[in-house]
Amino acid sequence: MTSNPDFNKETGAMEVAKAYGHGVRHKTVVIIGVSPQSLGESMALALASQSPSQLVLASRTMLKIKAVAAKIKAQYPDVQLELVEVDLSSLESVRKAAAEINKAVEKIDILINNAAVVMQTHADTKEGLELQFGTNHIGIFLLTNLLMPKILQAAQQSQSQSKGSTRIVNLTSAGHIISPIRYSDYNFAKRPEDIPEDERPMSRPGVSFDPPPGKTYVPFVAYGQSKTANILMSASISEKLASQGVRSIATHPGSIWTDLSRNLDEEYTDLVSKTGSFWKSLDQGSATTLVAALDPKLSEDKSVIYLSDCQVAEPAAHARDPIAAERLWKLSEEIVRQKCDLGTGSRV
């Protein structure tokens, strides 16, 4: 349960921020994925309205970050901003950005992992990972763990007054239902019939996500895998760190037209347009994430790992399986070649 059962798909981020303003004031907030006319910008403006002590904006293009920063400063000139460039498809860039953020802040009370890509062709990261999995999960996984000492510092300081108010929010999608994690083939080198049955994409009468003959890659399946990973990562963090006062929740923002669809052609854009029955504004699309970040009632139950339309929801079975979550955590450690011991923060 959330504190406000009246919040719904039409609720806006500014309304949520005002309702839980005490959870923002004097806090350090880091938002990953910020550009003009985006969910990240909407979240940043809503949070800035409630006087955080520090707001860190991190994204791929500094010019776009500065445009958002200028808008924030015009409306809320007293907010202290830190701007950091990060390319989540490059682990080298992630490590550099994490070092910059760690140097700029004493603690991190709220981390919002908003950045993502959607592709319609098979592309790889600099390390050779399928781009959507590499950017939407692996980059986020590494960055979050490199920032973990600062997150744990915030949790330690807030234990006596508001245990569980330290939050890590991962933006996911209802599209996670399309695919579990393909542990044996996360780079899509094989066809569905050549991987274990429990790793295959969703199949329903009249609906198939199988690739065409002779092909192995289906963009929406790859996206679904990365969005499942976001939820499982939240489940792992809450399981491992709830006793230390950290909660992680994944959020489905709803159907919103954003720059996320910039890599899709007309055919794919038309397919996406048919997936939503209610299309949200950016303010409405940001609201669920701010509920996850700020609602004090969500401190009470570590089993809450997924919100949709500003309320607690249940993800697909493959996205809430604790065994799958731990398996993904270990796979992610192997990929980034770093042991992420959440008892003491991340270490190489």
8 A C-beta contact, residue 256 and residue 280: yes
Between CA 193 and CA 301 the distance in angstroms is 39
How high is the pLDDT of residue 347? 44
Do the bridges between strand 110-113 and strand 207-208 make them parallel or antiparallel, or are there none, so unpaired?
A: unpaired
How high is the pLDDT of residue 341? 79
Chunked into runs of 10 residues, the chain (348 residues) has average pLDDT values of: 96 98 96 96 98 98 98 98 98 98 98 95 96 98 98 90 91 96 98 96 86 95 98 97 96 77 53 62 97 95 95 98 98 96 55
How high is the pLDDT of residue 203? 84
Q: Which residues pair with 130 in a beta bridge?
A: 124
| Residue tagged 């799958």 (tokens) | 324
8 A C-beta contact, residue 260 and residue 175: no
SS (H, E, C) the chain: CCCCCCCCCCCCHHHHHHHCHHHCCCCEEEEECCCCCCHHHHHHHHHHCCCCCEEEEEECCHHHHHHHHHHHHHHCCCCCEEEEECCCCCHHHHHHHHHHHHHHCCCCCEEEECCCCCCCCCCECCCCCEHHHHHHHHHHHHHHHHCHHHHHHHHHHHHHHHCCCEEEEEECCHHHHHCCCCCCCCCCCCCHHHCCHHHCCCEECCEECCCCCCCCCCHHHHHHHHHHHHHHHHHHHHHHHHHHCEEEEEEECCECCCHHHHHCCHHHHHHHHCCCCCECCHHHHHHHHHHHHHCHHHHCCCCCCEEECCEECCCCHHHCCHHHHHHHHHHHHHHHCCECCCCCCCEC
How high is the pLDDT of residue 343? 58
Tokens representing 327 are 């398996």
Supply the angle between the helices 62-75 and 39-48 in degrees, to the nearest 10: 30
How high is the pLDDT of residue 161? 73
How high is the pLDDT of residue 262? 53
Amino acid at 38: S
